[in-house]
Amino acid sequence: MNVLLLGSGGREHALALALARSPLLSRLVIAPGNPGTAALGDNQALDLADHLAVIRLCRNHAIDFVVIGPEAPLVAGLVDDLTAAGIPAFGPTRAAAQLEASKGFTKDLCRARNIPTAAYQRFGDAEAAQRYLRGRDAPIVVKADGLAGGKGVVVATSVSEAEAAVAMMFAGGFGEAGAEVVVEDFLEGEEVSFFALCDGLRALPFGSAQDHKRLLEGDRGPNTGGMGAYSPAPIMTPQLTQRVMQEIIDPTLAEMAQRGAPFRGVLFAGLMVTATGPKLIEYNVRFGDPECQVISLRLKDDLLELLMASAQGRLDQTAIELAPHAALAVVMAAAGYPGPPQHKRTRINGLSGAQALPGITVFQAATCQEDGGLFANGGRVLNIAATGASIREARDRAYAAVDIIDWPSGICRRDIGWRALADTLAKQGGAPDRRPKEDCP
């Protein structure tokens, strides 16, 4: 079977590695891909926003199945256009992708199905939002309604900070994504990423992870697309997983089916586990990045078969098994991220030495090949991932690999996995170490 994988980030490198292991695979084409995916298949230059070009590539390469990595093509209706062209694809339709495209849409759906989430209001103009804020207490959360690359959320510690966030969003700080905002109550608890594979009627749990969204140690600094992750999330017990499926995922599928937009694909639920149980923060309609990198390293099943079962509506004929070991990934980003890189096209050395260490996989994201070398070409550049018998072992292996990589312009957090390690230490009767660590390398 010939498969086309769309995307160019670390998530797509992880998906390519998992797809390449499938006995069903004859040929893997990645578009546009990156230097890491080039070792696993055939990279093809492609503008993912040009749906006709995607369809032409599928026909030129006799593609049997398309896997879409990033959210923008899903929200733009690429699955609809591929289906109309007779090309099977994994991912939701444009109508179903509204679960990520509009935070307000998802909040309204939660209200319709009594899905636990934070109290909220939607606003289409700044003045109404500001009036609402003046009657609220802080902390309070302000979100751009649309796609903002994981950065369109401000957790305001004061009403004045929330007012500034509203003004910034309506002034175009996140482009069209901020044309409408959602203001919601702040939730206390532990955040977790939960994934479910869906076929329109059924859903299967696909693992959990914990991301580190803030740029700096101690969960300080601006929000980013994610600075690291580990899997599994210790808080996601079998009992809690069952509650999430029954109270959040299953009602969502039922409501989408009732609206004539059945959800097929991977549903990524950002959850807050509060004192009263799990609550939905927001949905994404694709694998997370860097969560995909760590969960894929634990997957024991054939990913291609699972994705096809989702697209074909036959998840009742399969199961998902994850290995019990832990996986942890550290994101190395260009200095200046989440803003523009301070230095462009900086050379990266030492990857072969890092990858030679036990349990290490280096996923490439914003990289490029030039003059026989590997160079940084964007914000989040590398994902240094490791497996281990425990999160601590995976963490220690990952940072040992980070220390081998020679990239002076790269930065990373040195506390990925801190919550899991602190919780483990607390259970053993020790004092958790939450001291900030220095940026690396």
Measured CA distances, 262 to 65, 102, 167, 267, 381 (Å): 20, 17, 36, 12, 35
Contacts by 392-399 with C-beta closer than 8 Å and gap 24+? 392/417, 392/421, 392/424, 393/326, 394/230, 394/325, 394/326, 394/327, 394/328, 394/359, 395/230, 395/328, 395/421, 397/357, 397/358, 397/359, 397/360, 398/328, 398/329, 398/330, 398/360, 399/330, 399/440
Shortest CA distance to 354 belongs to which of 286, 289, 440, 268?
A: 440
- Torsion angle, CA of 254/255/261/263, rounded to 10 degrees? -50
Reported as type and span, the H/E element at residue 111 is helix 103-113
Q: Is 42 exposed, middle or buried (0-12, 13-18, 19+ CB in 10 A)?
A: middle
Residue 345 CA to residue 367 CA, distance in Å, equals: 9
Q: What is the mean pLDDT of residues 89-98?
A: 98
Please check whether residue 285 is in contact with residue 249, taking contact to mean a CB–CB distance below 8 angstroms. no
pLDDT at 429: 56
Q: Which helix (H) or strand (E) holds 198?
A: strand 190-199
Q: Looking at residue 412, what DSSP letter applies? A: B
82 C-beta neighbours (distance < 10 Å), count: 24
Strand blocks (E) in 8-95: 27-32, 42-43, 65-68, 89-90
85 pLDDT more than 80: yes
Backbone angles phi, psi at 101, to 5 degrees: -65, -30
Burial of 143: CB neighbours in 10 Å, binned 0-12, 13-18, 19+: buried
Token pair 């733009």: residue? 76
Biggest CA–CA distance in the chain, Å, is 62
Burial group, residue 134, by CB count within 10 angstroms (0-12, 13-18, 19+): exposed
Model confidence over 172-231: pLDDT tens digits? 999 998 999 999 999 999 999 999 999 999 999 999 999 999 999 999 998 899 999 999
> Which residues lie below 8 Å from residue 410, measured CB to CB, with a gap of 6+?
332, 333, 334, 335, 346, 348, 376, 381, 382, 440, 441
Indicate the pTM of the whole model: 0.93
pLDDT over 80 at 35, yes or no: yes
> With 70 as the cut, is the pLDDT of residue 60 above it?
yes
Looking at the predicted structure, is the pLDDT value of residue 431 above 70?
no
Q: Render pLDDT for 70-82 as a digit per residue (tens, 0 to 9).
A: 999 999 999 999 9
Residue 55, pLDDT score: 98
- 418 within 8 A of 404, measured Cβ to Cβ: no
pLDDT at 123 exceeding the cut of 90: yes
CA-CA distance, 254 to 249, in Å (whole number)?
9
Write down the pLDDT at residue 439.
Answer: 41
Angle at 289 between CA 423 and CA 303, to 5 degrees: 100
d(CA 333, CA 337): 7
Distance CA 406, CA 48 (A): 32
Q: What domains can be seen in the chain, in order of their start residue?
A: 2-86 (3.40.50.20), 119-185 (3.30.1490.20), 190-317 (3.30.470.20), 326-427 (3.90.600.10)
Q: What percent of the chain shows pLDDT beyond 90?
A: 89
Q: With bands split at pLDDT 50, 70 and 90, how would you rate the model's confidence at 344?
A: confident
Q: CA–CA separation, 293 vs 289, rounded Å?
A: 7
- For the cut 80, the answer to whether the pLDDT of residue 256 exceeds it is yes
* C-alpha distance across the termini of the chain, in Å: 42
